[in-house]
Amino acid sequence: MKLFNEILNDESGATAIEYGLIAALIAVALIAALGSLGGSLNNTFNGVGGELNTANKKMAD
């Protein structure tokens, strides 16, 4: 019975699980933020590319 109580009261693995959960939450937040940033960058570069095409066409005329 003493061994069973020791096993139930052992919390040494709890810290590792908590750190793992925190790391997973940070990873999810980073993925969401970088996904949003990627879309914004894509729009910016498409805008710049469009402006360059317009300027190139004006130079050719």
pLDDT digits (tens, 9 = 90+) for 6-35: 777 777 777 788 888 999 999 999 999 998
% of the chain surpassing 90 pLDDT? 46
Element (H, E) at 36: helix 12-60
Give me the pLDDT at residue 21, please.
93
Give the 3-state secondary structure percentages of the chain, helix then strand then coil, rounded to 5: 95, 0, 5
Amino acid of residue 44: T
In this structure, what token pair is assigned to residue 18?
């908590």
pTM equals: 0.53
Q: What is the mean pLDDT of residues 34-51?
A: 91
